[in-house]
Amino acid sequence: MIVYIRLLKESFGFAMNALRNNKLRTFLSLLGVTIGIFSIIAVLAAVDSLDRKIKKDLSSLDSKTIFIFKYPFGPSNVPRWKIEQFPEMNYEEYLYLKNNCTKTGTLSYQYFTNNQNIKNESVTASSVSIRPCTFEYADIDLLELGEGRFFNESESNTGRNCIVLGYDIADALFSGSNAMNKEVRLYGQRFTVIGVLKKVGERMVSIGPNPDNSAYIPLNKVRAMYGDSNDAFTPIIVAKPIVGATLEDAQDEITQKLRLKRGLKSSDDNNFFVNLLKGAADQIESIISSLNLMGWIIALFSLLVGGFGIANIMFVSVKERTNQIGIQKSLGAKRKFILFQFLFEAVILCLFGGLVGIFLVWIIAVILSAALDFEFVLSFGKILLGSGLAIFIGLLAGIIPAYSAAKLDPVEAIRSGM
């Protein structure tokens, strides 16, 4: 063991000598490894950070959330012209599903609609996402209240003039002061603020607009004002299965009940879509996997070039130290000693180049995280991966030069070196 520790120490010394004595040549050889490790770790860390951000954003909605909608969330075999002829969801269907489905625990009805301006006296919040919905929506979207409360069942059913503001909207209208029980104007009417949401921050993935820039009002208030067949409002029913029921069970029951409600025959196709959030999450996961694969392919080309560079510098090193190898072997050094000496040197050089690449990724991660509203994460696992790849490339690049050095004849080596 002591012999190998000394061997490693000597190899480290030879590697440092190569860096000091042949700066340009070694720098150019290491550049390929540095770029390769930088590329692959940067891409993997970026994709990993993106994946974490997307999963964090999607965590605000339960992965078992079901969306009953006129349109599909993804590709469909149903022609677009046929989908356009499907009937919209309506309030009666919402009540029917709510009262007849035994496998759904929470079920809400909401509208997607155009953005509006909200006024507080002379102050206006522009382009606010208005979210007319029933009272269950707070549990569906897991909304967190910073102040006040969400409207209750009675207020939802009667369509009371109450409103819950997103954090940024409340801040814009009331300049950071208390918004509770104040009145704002929307759709030409006055609404009393009964709640303000906690700040969510930027979301990369969201079903609908960001809650920070949204305002929530009872859906029945909008129905009373504009009726049920206004083109400005697109209805959707959102549901969650009860505890103990599978997503598939709830999905099948909703499909069966809604077909019954709409009077569809067994031979008729569904004229609605039961979309799963899990399906959207799976599609995102597939995209993330594709990005990872592309990152590996791009970076492996750089690592290949870097490996050739390290192999080249090791062949030159063997050539320059042929006389020294001959002397070592004539004094009793075994083949494996010479082999490990050059192999360790190649690994140390590659590891040095890889660590420089990882350090550059860390610097860029710190700068981007500080400059953008996005946490760029360089995990310990990615650092280990980069270091492991550098060592692997060092072994591959150094094995042939090290083997050629180990099999040199001592007499010929001394003679050729003189």
263 and 292 part of one domain: no
Of the residues 240, 271, 302, the one at which a domain ends: 271
Percent of the chain clearing pLDDT 70 (strictly above): 78
Cα of 358 vs its chain's centroid, Å: 21
* Residue 70 located in a structural domain: no
How far is it, in rounded angstroms, from Cα 415 to Cα 409? 10
106 and 181 part of one domain: yes
Query: How many Cβ atoms are within 10 Å of 260's Cβ, its own excluded?
Result: 11
Indicate whether this model's pTM tops 0.85: no
262 and 307 part of one domain: no
Q: Say what the pLDDT of residue 310 is.
A: 74
Cβ within 8 Å of residue 253, ≥6 positions away: 101, 102, 103, 104
Which one of 8-17, 89-98, 172-181, 243-252 scores highest in mean pLDDT? 89-98
Report which of 384, 141, 94 is spatially closest to residue 258, judged by C-alpha positions. Answer: 94
291 and 326 part of one domain: yes
What are the tokens at 191?
A: 């609404």
Report which of 374, 263, 321 is spatially closest to residue 11, judged by C-alpha positions. Answer: 321
Residue 61 has pLDDT above 60, yes or no: no
93 and 211 part of one domain: yes
Tell me what the pLDDT averaged over the chain comes to. 81
142 and 266 part of one domain: yes
Angle CA 250–102–68, to nearest 5: 45
238 and 315 part of one domain: no
Residue range of the domain that includes 184: 87-271
Structural domain count of the chain: 2
101 and 173 part of one domain: yes
pLDDT digits (tens, 9 = 90+) for 293-341: 777 777 677 677 777 777 777 777 777 666 766 676 666 667 777 777 7
255 and 377 part of one domain: no
* Residue 72 located in a structural domain: no
* Residue 73 located in a structural domain: no
pLDDT digits (tens, 9 = 90+) for 163-222: 999 999 999 999 878 889 999 999 989 999 999 999 887 665 555 678 889 999 999 999
209 and 339 part of one domain: no
Q: Which amino acid is at 269?
A: D
* Residue 207 located in a structural domain: yes
Report which of 18, 45, 3, 5 is spatially closest to residue 352, judged by C-alpha positions. Answer: 18
175 and 216 part of one domain: yes
E-assigned strand segments in 161-290 = 162-165, 183-186, 189-197, 214-218, 233-241, 273-276
Q: Say what the pLDDT of residue 383 is.
A: 83
First to last CA, the chain: 34
